[in-house]
Amino acid sequence: MEQKVWKQPGHFVEIVYMAKDGTLTQRKVKVVSYNRNSVYGYCYLRHQMRSFLKRNILAAYPNLPA
Contacts of residue 65, defined as CB under 8 A and 6 or more positions apart, other chains included, come to 12, 30
Sheet holding 24-34, edge to edge: 48-53, 38-43, 24-34, 12-18, 57-63
What local confidence, expressed as pLDDT, does residue 1 receive? Answer: 45
- In tens, the pLDDT along 43-59 reads 999 999 999 999 999 99
Q: Which domain holds residue 18?
A: 3-63
Whether the per-residue pLDDT at 2 is higher than 80: the answer is: no
Give pTM, 2 decimals.
0.83
Number of domains observed in the structure of the chain: 1
CATH of the domain at 54: 2.30.30.520
Q: Which amino acid is at 35?
A: N
Contacts of residue 13, defined as CB under 8 A and 6 or more positions apart, other chains included, come to 5, 6, 28, 29, 30, 31, 39, 41, 60, 61, 62, 63
